Structures are given as structure tokens and as C-alpha cells.
Structure 1
Amino acid sequence: MANTNLIGIHHVTAMTEDVQRNYEFITNILGMRLVKKTVNQDDIQTYHTFYADDRGNPGTDLTFFDFPDIPSYVLGTNSISRTGLRVPNDEALAYYLDRFEEYEIENEGIQELFGRKILPFQEADGQRYQLFSDENDQGVAPGTPWKNGPVPEDKAIYGLGPIEITVSYFEDFVQAMQLIFGFTLKVEEENVALLEVGQGGNGGQMIVRKDDTSPIEVQGNGTVHHVSFRVADHQAIKEWEEKYNGLEMKHSGLVDRFYFEALYTRIGHILIEISTDGPGFIDEQESYEELGTTLALPPFLEPDREYIESVVRPFDTAKK
């Protein structure tokens, strides 16, 4: 039997109304590498961009759907409320604080959360993030900083950190993450809990907050669409599908995304994906050097390339 245990966070997918502005922010200010420019496989007239570490390793992917014609989100509960990003140490947080001040990025200054230094900030569209310092972190291994990025390698973002989820049904959600997905409760305080999975640490943690007074969030541009957790391979994700069936949980069935396999379900309002670690983003379409510079399409969409290129907005990511 395959080891079906979740390894950690695989990726986080959010929504943007301006793929070009988002590209400039994620690459030029945050210093994450665009490793794949493709289209939303469920809506091929829109982009799906993947930003990650130097090689697009699992656990480092921050991805975006480009939806130029939908409204901005309305902040509320029952949502994925903040995306975590990892940096090597406290010194790197100080570097980013200076960088955010230089580029006039809204931020809340360096703080402490569950014994670690963090730096909450947000994008122009209201997308909310927080940097986590990996100082003394001993959990899920990070990725590799972008070697040719604008941020020094010893300071750069190199992975996803704890995902923050805010729900009105706090106790039920925390219990579901333990009983179904194998998370363990690491810390519980009033109206907030820290859970972890796999080897734990910043790359395998979830922060759950209770908010039973705010209205339910209305998704739109500037919000997180879903979070995905890692499994090793096809056999592991196949056994998760069988587990969902045994629990009589609604789910998507296995979906081949070409770069990884995926399986979707909801816990309350929260869309949770499980994804395989491979095959990955370096393939016959794009070498390591070419990552993110072309419009990459999975083989089943190649017959539609001419149409797709005619309907997506021009978006140049070729190296100058």
C-alpha cells in the first residue's frame, strides 16, 4: 500500500484581475520565478500563471487565475484568509520590510506569531499574505531561491508557509482536518489553532481562526481560490479518492493537470485539493532556462493553440 500521508502544502491558487500587474509584483518585488505561463484548463480563455522557486518544486507554487471581468472579493469569514510565504531567517524579513517600504507595499510591520517572526502585507488588489521566517525551522524542507531573481538568494522567498483559514465553524473544521487529513493540533489558543501535517514546520502548517460574526466572504479578484496539499504519486492520490468514496464525501474525481494530478473536495466553504509531487514543470516544452517564457499548453490543449492565442490577452514574459 502506498504512503498516503500528506507531505505538506503543495500550492495555493488565487485570483487576479490584471495578470500583467500581478506578474510584475510577484517577480520584480517578491522575487518569485514564473515557472509556467499556461491557461486555466477549465476556462481556456484565461491565463493560469505559476510562480515558485528556481525549479518549480512542489511546496513552492503560488498560482493565479486571471479573471479581468469579475468584481473584487468582499472580505469575510469562511475563507482562505492569508497565504504564507517562507524566507530563510529573521534578517530576510528585515530585508523585505525595507523593500516594501521602498516600493510602497502596504504592510503591518514585523510581528510574532506562534513563536516565529512574520511580516503581513498585501497586494494592490487586496490579496493578503504574510512572510514567515524559517529561523530555527526544522520541518518540511524549503525549495531553492530563484538564482537569477531581483532578490539576493540568501534573502529570497523559497517556499509556501502556513496557510491561514478563517471559519465560523471553528471546532468542526479543526476536527475535520485532524480526522480526515491527518493534521495534528500543535497549539490551540482562544479562537485560533495551529495544525501541522507531514514533517510540520512552516511548510506543513495551517492556521485556523474563528470568526462567527462577519458575513461570509464573497469570492472575487484578490481572494484565494483554493489550497492544495502534497502527496507523493499517483498511487497515493488514487487511495485518497478511494478514502473520499468510503467516507461518502463529494469530490471531483482524479484530474490530470499534466504538471501534477489533482483531487478536489470541500470542507464547508473551503476548497481543498490534493496534488501529486510530479511530473513537474520542466519538460520537453520548456527547459530549466526557458521556464515561464512561452505559452505552455498541456498536450490535450495543443490542438486549440491557435484559438487560445487569439483570445488571451497579450502578455510578454520572454527574457529580454
Structure 2
Amino acid sequence: MAPDGTPRHVPVLLEETLEALSPVRGGRYLDGTVGLGGHAEALLDAAPGSELCGLDRDGEALALARGRLARFGERVRLFHSRYSEFAAALRELGWESVNGALLDIGVSSLQLDEAERGFSFSGDGPLDMRMDPSSGERSAWHWVNRENFGRLKECIATFGEEPQAGRIARAIVEARQKAPIETTAELAALVERAYPAAWRARARRHPATRTFQALRMAVNDELGELRRFLDRILEWLPLGGRLVVITFHSLEDRMVKRAMRHWAEGCRCPRHVAVCRCGHVPEVRLLAKKPLSASDEELALNPRASSAKLRAVEKIAVPPGDGGMGEQA
């Protein structure tokens, strides 16, 4: 436990995040996934007088972050919200731009370590997996016990990138015809049995890992959240403003990479046009050509950082028609 009573929390890629954000004294920052407040605390310490708008849809995590960040007083404003809805929070604060924005879109240790949240099969709990259990949205139980074979297979194959998606979906459908599948341990055992014996023998991880990941992503519409955020965040950055995104899944990293490279493109005229007519200029510069990953030293302290990838950009131009949004407030 930390001195303030919050669970011990190790922010992933902390030094790399601070270097990429390069926070300035008196700046305004958005942390769309404030979690337990580790990145936010380091940012506020690094930039005296800076302000932070923090969002999280996990109410339990937000309450713990509020305690951790209490020493910063009015410099911190926290909202129980999806990060795709950041614009509403910024408008409520009267902010017209932010000097930097951060997303760390991995599942928090708080969620993974509490069996009753249903994110992990390391402990037996209900099939929930909702980032915000108070949302009233459908839980993993509904996906497992109510969705048809086709949607289950598609979910597991797409979000989990699971080659045995068909066998797993069929096993789930057959099992629930006898009785509902109620717990994480029950589902994990079912998936393990559905795996071919030869695959089980070669597996480096539990056979249910990808299925649980897929269900969690579907339950929380994680790719949709990321897409909506990326569609809007650039207009809220002033010239020199920076965006840092940490992902833990190949589909999320691919989406971030494509968006950032698209923003960094110059002319977008068709190839047969000899002289540029579109007049488009790069809106950002990539702060690193390849994603940053955890060092060996960090992995020794925090093995969950093994799949983390950090990508970052700096805004260098305001596109025509921006209407002034993104200019320094």
C-alpha cells in the first residue's frame, strides 16, 4: 500500500511518458484514463502550476485517484466519464485547449486483481468485465450466455485474434444449453477443454487468455472508444501540444499508428497528380518512428508492462477550416 492508503500502483512507461509529454509549468493536461493516478501524479509533480483534467469510467479507481491526487488541490479536476467524452469535461472546465493528452488503455491492476470484477480467470468471480459496473451496460455474462454462435466466434476471432475461435464459440453454445455459464473459472475451464490437446501442450499462456481479452474488449467497446477519441483529440491541441497513447493490444496499437501516420502525412493528392493541389501539410510530427516499449529494468519490476507500446506526436500545424480550435488558450 502507498502512504495515502491507495493500492501500490506502478505506472507503465512512466519516464518515457513524461519525456514524450514534456509538461510545462502552468500547462493544462488531459489524462483520459487516470486509473489510480500514477501518471497524473508524476506529471503534476514535474510541471509546477500545471492543471490536470482526469477521466475514468471506473468509479472505484477514480475514488482512489482522488485520494492520491488530493495534495494538488484545485489543480486537479476528475470526471467519472468515458475518455471518448473528454470534450464535454473540458468545456465544463472552460478549457479551450490542452498542452498535452495521455491515454493508457490497459486494464488496471485494480480491475485484474479483484475477482469480483470478472476480468481475470486467476480468481473465480462473476462474468462481468465492465469498466463501469454502474453503467447498466451488458456484461460478459450476456455475451457468453445470450449471443449467437456467429457473433461469439467473430468477437473471439477479431478482438482476441484467437485461431480456435470457432471451437471455443461452439463449446460455449453447447455448454450453456445445459446450464448458464456463471463464473470466470467455469468459462476458463470450458475454453481450455475446447483447445486441441496439442495446442494446449504448446501454449505459453492459459488457453482462455485471448477469449477473456476479446470479451472484455467487446463489453467495453474499447476499439470504438479509441476511434472516437482519435477522431477529436487533435483539434484540442495547440501548436506544440503533444499526444501520448499507451496500448497493450495489437489492434489498438495499429489504430493509433495509422491515425498518427495519417496526421503526419503531407500532400494527399492522387499519385498521378504531378503538382500538389490539395495544399495539405503535416499536422503533427512523430516523436519516434517506432513505438517505445518497457526496458528490462521495468519488466523486472512490472511484468504486466511486457505488451505496452507508447506512441506520441507533437502538433505542428492547424489544418484549414479548424476554426481556431487548438490555438493556445
Relative to the length of structure 2, the TM-score reads: 0.27
More helix by share: 2
**Greater relative contact order: 1 or 2 (C-alpha under 8 angstroms, separation 6 or more)?**
1
More strand by share: 1
Relative to the length of structure 1, the TM-score reads: 0.27
